[in-house]
Amino acid sequence: MPLSQALAPLVDLVFPPRCPLCGEGIAAQTGLCSRCWSELAIPGEPSCATCSRPFADGVGEGSVCAPCLAEPPRHDGIAAATLYNDVSRKLVLSLKHGNRISLAPMMAGLMLPKLPFMDDSWLIAPVPLHRWRLWKRGYNQSAELAREIGKATKASHCVDLLERRKATPSLGGLGRSARKRVLTGAIGLNPRRKAVVKGAKIVLVDDVMTSGATSDACVSTLKRAGAGKVVIACFARVLDEALDLT
């Protein structure tokens, strides 16, 4: 029996399990209470065949959303565990800014059902942080999620596949062209990993996908380097118009 399992009853006795969001007592150290679970927005079907954007009922299978028709993406799909709402926002902020790395296994567990195709033939890599932000925070929250997904799927985890070569400000409030300018030259391939990327099937992991500008820059970098397929996996995706469809 692993030591963590052997010590679990003692840990539960000293630190009774509580929901990390509302503090209500729960059965185990990992997870949420039933109320918080019920408030997560899980994207379902029907959805865009290209990016999995949820559609209203009645849209035929294989349909493609207007944004993907207007500008076909370079990625090979988006796998989002949840839509961004109050509950998922609290989880993301707790993981990203609250040093709650212990949330990563639970959040990654919610991402796994959206990645049924993954096995040890895939390579998994996080969206990178600039070294100064990594030094200040102490960890890359996307890398923590990627690590947990790698454990569960046996996929190879390459934490330094991509590099963020310049610090970038928040992209919130910026238009498409402004976001593109900010990210120009910001994301690059680690020169030591060139051989790994050629022809590889890659899952790019992020905690939250807002405009998609950063993940698009990562995908473009990987595709230019010869990646065969790149799927974006995120815990939360900002699609306010889709919240009423869940």
Res 8 pLDDT > 50:
no
Q: Say whether 187 sits in a helix, a strand or coil.
A: strand
Domains (ranges, CATH) in the chain?
1-38 (no CATH), 42-245 (3.40.50.2020)
d(CA 30, CA 148) in angstroms, rounded, equals: 14
215: Cα within 13 Å, side-chain hemisphere: 29
Of 46-50, 171-175, 182-186, the poorest mean pLDDT is in: 171-175
pLDDT digits 0-9 by tens, 95-150: 998 888 989 999 999 999 999 999 999 999 999 998 888 888 999 999 999 999 99
Which has more confidence, 168 or 113? 113
pLDDT at residue 24, rounded to an integer: 80
Looking at the chain, the number of H-run helices and the number of E-run strands are: 10, 7
User: How much is the average pLDDT of 18-41?
Assistant: 82
**For range 36-45, the mean pLDDT:** 93
Q: Alpha-carbon Rg of the chain, whole angstroms?
A: 18
Q: Is the pLDDT reported for residue 9 higher than 50?
A: no
Q: How far apart are CA 217 and CA 169, in angstroms?
A: 15
- CA neighbours within 13 Å on the CB side: how many for 81? 26
Contact present, 32 and 26 (Cβ < 8 Å):
yes
Give the end-to-end CA distance of the chain in Å, rounded to a whole number: 40
pLDDT band for position 245 (cuts 50, 70, 90)? confident
| Token couple for 53 | 């954007």
| Cβ–Cβ under 8 Å, residues 163 and 128 | yes
Partner residues linked to 163 by β-bridges: 188
The predicted pLDDT at position 7 comes to 41
Question: How confident is the model over 51-102, as pLDDT tens digits?
Answer: 999 998 888 889 999 999 999 999 999 999 999 999 999 999 999 988 889 8
Q: Judge whether 145 and 137 are in contact, CB under 8 Å.
A: no
**C-beta neighbour count of 177 within 10 angstroms:** 8
Residue 138: closest CA among 167, 96, 179: 96
- Which pLDDT belongs to residue 107? 95
Cβ–Cβ under 8 Å, residues 85 and 240? no
Write down the pLDDT at residue 176: 67
Helix (H) or strand (E) holding 228: none
What's the rounded mean pLDDT across residues 215-219?
94
Mapped onto helix, strand or coil, the DSSP state of residue 230 is strand
If you average pLDDT over every residue of the chain, what do you get?
87
3-state secondary structure of 198: coil
Contact yes or no for 100/20 (Cβ under 8 A): yes
Say yes or no to pLDDT of 13 above 90: no
Position 68 scores a pLDDT of 96
pLDDT score of 206: 96
